[in-house]
Chain A
């Protein structure tokens, strides 16, 4: 048995014992059936937590992963909040909603998605840097997470943009059940150095050295305002979570004997036992007290809300400006006037100004707020999320809507969930903009309308711009949002002028909702068919209304929602009950689409028999060749033919 250092401060040892005892308590409570779900303990790795989390400043921040209890205790000292959280009590750090992997307190955040927290942490750190604060951040990952792409996107960016973030990789040689030799190629440290990130190393068997090196790394990141990468070699003595351990018993035993606290308990059993007694009492008293507490009632977590649309209507007038000019003008104003605004995206710097020129000259007006990113959609979105958590209003641009899939994890598992899983302690007012739509011949991977995948994400608003009114009305509302918003712009709409064709036989109006609903109806006649379209398809419909009447005898009322994640079902149902016919047209493919959602909601609410129909793109990738592209997307001839067949 090797001997442990005698010079190390006993405060550090006590901190480590405390972490271990709290986690052992969790396992005990788990076996007693008092703990729901799962826990991942860091028994054996505690000194990593103490070395890093314990040496940060209050203004610094931590993003951690599933194995976060140690980091949390070392950084916040809040054992009570953690115990209560895992026991599912309302007084827990996340009100019992998050439990083990989802903690949020005093600049400490954790999330159970491997790798996804790295760009978020980068964004948070970027926020600190933009404010000129010398606060830094640490993000903890395991060695298994070296397999995640978002990590490398972020390493590239933090190095390039000099973001003060220290990545601490806790290398315990396993990813869940998989030994490192099965899933890791090459060398860990070289990964970071390849990106030009300074690397550090240490291990938990020599805590004193680890603490020193950690301090060195923290100081480096803070003073140089550059990222660092710290490899902590360690070993977890317990199972991955509860009982799932297939490792070789002898191997575990070797590490058990080598473990600093175990050696210390034998070599200095007097001290160890004295510390243990005090810590055990502290924990037991807390648990006894917490077990009597209440859980969060559902109504504090979720209350259903009915859709009630605004019912005062204002007339619409043409604006002789192209949509893209209006958007650009608005963003120019904002970047100067709103200190929260940050723009990120591929190729958005001037003179190029983004693939569709929406961000033109922003980087001239305020260069430090415009980030032209590498081709890294996950990181763009994740960094935007981090900025948003840190009080900014980031507007991430995804160059083509098709690429939203690469940003999906950040939207669904991060932006969407933060507010609720941390029991509403924080908001993530991120904005992700992207153009969708075909009719430009860009072909299968640059033309699709994927909006149906972006609605129905909890707590995320999805808005589709249209050409009926000035889109800055929508963006003003977005700037007031406290939660994530996805904005679907449309490639062909960018170049169009607002309400350029106003036909005298129709009345054009919008309501006064934050995300206005447009209504186009016959000037005096009672409409006999309700048509709903949004985004780029709405503009297509505008020029079709007369033709629809001429050929089908039906007098159309067109309703154009802009908030497509919460359709104005009340308005549409009312119109439908008057006309008896409801047609929804979407540019995406139809199955399980927005049209389906709309028809279902209208059917739930409307009375009387109603004839309904969805028209959408055919379920194939959008062809590049013009004739086929137009055939696949819902065009005039098909729409009129279908109306005749279904409604006449």
Chain B
């Protein structure tokens, strides 16, 4: 007789502190074979199946459709059927216990009569518990009864720390069905909300924008790019990854009472092409060359489109880049993901002004504006260094719109002036025509 396997909720993505059990494969107590799927979790990005490691009898401590916290035991496999107790474990409690719970709640040195709360009495009656087990207590609440029966594992007497968003909030915004049509949000969207609100809901984020001069930037860059011609994303990932080593505060997160700095740089980039919003990982980006990064982007993007993403493509992302440059946006405010301290937003290149906006939203609890501004400025400088500074115009093709002389043929060494022609077109004018002799 032995416990063969404890199935706990895995940490699959930094953003998922709870997972939904979407499928419970067997009835409680059923024999299972090694390799059989026991249960299926849904993460914010994919599903995850847990298989039996050996033959045995399964006991579920969970129900399909409910959320459980990472590391919580949700199923066990025993060597014999008799070991299986058919008691369900409740879903993730609405409130996790207070961290500072020093004192034990159970005190047994009360000589007077015990006062039971109404719910405690109901529970005692429904569980047929002998009230005298509570002798020595002054007050017995429902939670005290549950604690005694080990129902909740922990006492919920203590502080409500952080309600799970999945649980219907008591203060939902009222809905008048005669005026609106309700569409339930998907569990994916709910998760997105949950892990974005983790950093953002505190309200301690701010966003800093800088412009990058993109004039002539692709002249050389496109020669190095294989797949993503005219895209800044690969070089931004490349340069950001390197810079993050210099700015470790942006490659970490706020833990509640400290700051966690990631040991490696895994840059994530957000994609949303028909398959839902996902952040895909370029692991160890700081050690990779531009070509390798481009290859990686290509590889992970195709897996995204083919629905063959691995857990590893989605987890342990230390900094996120969201590229909306193909959407024609001037600038936007990206939202920091859970367990990150910053996110970089890339806006579209303004063709007229030859520039684009980089926006970095960051968690003030981890870093501050001055540092992030320096990070952004340095990033912009690095990107601008790719610009073809002496933009080589073919001198013979540049003609003065007035005298049709080409730049090549011009004798003065001051060059031509960019101008607008009398019919409103872009053109050039030579010094002689402009100023006269």
**A residues engaging B (CB < 8 A)?**
504-505, 522-526, 528, 546, 549-555, 577-581, 607-611, 645, 647
B117 with A608: CB separation less than 8 A:
no
Q: When A608-B159, A647-B160 are in contact, do A553 and B109 touch as well, CB less than 8 Å?
A: no
Within 8 A of A (CB), among B111-149: 112-113, 115-120, 137-139, 141-143
Query: A525 to chain B: which residues have CB within 8 Å?
Result: 105, 107, 137-139
Query: A524 to chain B: which residues have CB within 8 Å?
Result: 107, 109-110, 137-138
A sample of 6 more A-B contacts (CB under 8 A), given A549-B139, A553-B141, is: A505-B115, A505-B138, A523-B112, A525-B105, A553-B119, A578-B103
Query: A608 to chain B: which residues have CB within 8 Å?
Result: 98-100, 159, 161
A607 to chain B, nearest CB (A): 8
B160 with A611: CB separation less than 8 A:
yes
Query: B222 to chain A: which residues have CB within 8 Å?
Result: none
* A606 closest partner in B (C-beta): B100
* B160 closest partner in A (C-beta): A611
- Number of interchain pairs (Cβ within 8 Å): 78
B367 to chain A, nearest CB (A): 21
B141 with A579: CB separation less than 8 A:
no
A609 with B162: CB separation less than 8 A:
yes
- Can you report 10 residue pairs joining A to B where beta carbons are below 8 Å apart? A504-B112, A522-B139, A525-B105, A528-B157, A549-B115, A553-B141, A578-B100, A580-B98, A609-B161, A645-B170
CA distance A45 to B109 in the complex (A): 82
B141 with A555: CB separation less than 8 A:
yes
User: Which one of A546, A553, A581 contacts B143 once the chains associate, using CB atoms below 8 Å?
Assistant: A553
Query: B170 to chain A: which residues have CB within 8 Å?
Result: 645
A549 with B137: CB separation less than 8 A:
no
For the complex, is B377 an interface residue (Cβ under 8 Å from A)? no
Interface centre among B118, B119, B139, B170 (most CB of A within 10 A): B139
For the complex, is B158 an interface residue (Cβ under 8 Å from A)? yes
B139 with A505: CB separation less than 8 A:
yes
Within 8 A of A (CB), among B86-103: 98-100, 103
B157-175 vs A, CB cutoff 8 Å, 1 = contact: the mask equals: 1111110000000100000
Query: B143 to chain A: which residues have CB within 8 Å?
Result: 553
Query: B138 to chain A: which residues have CB within 8 Å?
Result: 505, 522-525
B158 with A553: CB separation less than 8 A:
no
Query: B160 to chain A: which residues have CB within 8 Å?
Result: 580-581, 609, 611, 647
**B residues engaging A (CB < 8 A)?**
98-100, 103-105, 107, 109-110, 112-113, 115-120, 137-139, 141-143, 157-162, 170
Q: Lowest 4 A-B CB distances belong to which pairs?
A: A580-B159, A553-B141, A524-B107, A523-B138
Query: A578 to chain B: which residues have CB within 8 Å?
Result: 100, 103
CA distance A505 to B114 in the complex (A): 9
Query: B104 to chain A: which residues have CB within 8 Å?
Result: 526
CA distance A366 to B119 in the complex (A): 60
CA distance A524 to B120 in the complex (A): 18
CA distance A608 to B102 in the complex (A): 14
A505 with B103: CB separation less than 8 A:
no
* B157 closest partner in A (C-beta): A528
Query: A550 to chain B: which residues have CB within 8 Å?
Result: 115-118
A553 with B110: CB separation less than 8 A:
no
Q: When A522-B138, A525-B139 are in contact, do A551 and B118 touch as well, CB less than 8 Å?
A: yes
CA distance A523 to B141 in the complex (A): 14
Query: B157 to chain A: which residues have CB within 8 Å?
Result: 526, 528, 555
B273 to chain A, nearest CB (A): 38
CA distance A607 to B99 in the complex (A): 10
CA distance A607 to B116 in the complex (A): 31
B115 with A579: CB separation less than 8 A:
no
CA distance A554 to B144 in the complex (A): 11
B168 to chain A, nearest CB (A): 13
Query: B142 to chain A: which residues have CB within 8 Å?
Result: 553
Query: A581 to chain B: which residues have CB within 8 Å?
Result: 159-160
Query: A546 to chain B: which residues have CB within 8 Å?
Result: 115
* B256 closest partner in A (C-beta): A608
Q: When A524-B138, A546-B115 are in contact, do A553 and B159 touch as well, CB less than 8 Å?
A: no
B117 with A526: CB separation less than 8 A:
no
B158 with A580: CB separation less than 8 A:
yes
Query: B161 to chain A: which residues have CB within 8 Å?
Result: 580, 608-609
A521 to chain B, nearest CB (A): 10
B103 with A526: CB separation less than 8 A:
yes
* B109 closest partner in A (C-beta): A524
* A528 closest partner in B (C-beta): B157
CA distance A368 to B143 in the complex (A): 64
* B162 closest partner in A (C-beta): A609
* B99 closest partner in A (C-beta): A608
A555 with B139: CB separation less than 8 A:
yes
User: Which one of A526, A579, A607, A647 contacts B107 once the chains associate, using CB atoms below 8 Å?
Assistant: A526
A201 to chain B, nearest CB (A): 68
A245 to chain B, nearest CB (A): 51
B24 to chain A, nearest CB (A): 29
Query: B158 to chain A: which residues have CB within 8 Å?
Result: 528, 579-580
Query: B119 to chain A: which residues have CB within 8 Å?
Result: 553
CA distance A28 to B143 in the complex (A): 78
User: Which one of A526, A611, A645 contacts B105 once the chains associate, using CB atoms below 8 Å?
Assistant: A526
CA distance A526 to B159 in the complex (A): 12
B117 with A552: CB separation less than 8 A:
yes
A611 with B159: CB separation less than 8 A:
yes
* A506 closest partner in B (C-beta): B138
CA distance A608 to B157 in the complex (A): 16
CA distance A495 to B320 in the complex (A): 67
B112 with A505: CB separation less than 8 A:
yes
CA distance A300 to B174 in the complex (A): 56
A568 to chain B, nearest CB (A): 20
CA distance A610 to B157 in the complex (A): 13
A634 to chain B, nearest CB (A): 20
Query: A579 to chain B: which residues have CB within 8 Å?
Result: 158-159
Query: A580 to chain B: which residues have CB within 8 Å?
Result: 98, 158-161
CA distance A609 to B158 in the complex (A): 11
Query: A522 to chain B: which residues have CB within 8 Å?
Result: 138-139
B159 with A523: CB separation less than 8 A:
no
CA distance A551 to B115 in the complex (A): 11
CA distance A579 to B170 in the complex (A): 21
A413 to chain B, nearest CB (A): 38
Query: B116 to chain A: which residues have CB within 8 Å?
Result: 550
CA distance A224 to B117 in the complex (A): 74
Q: When A523-B112, A549-B117 are in contact, do A554 and B159 touch as well, CB less than 8 Å?
A: no
* B97 closest partner in A (C-beta): A580
CA distance A355 to B408 in the complex (A): 107
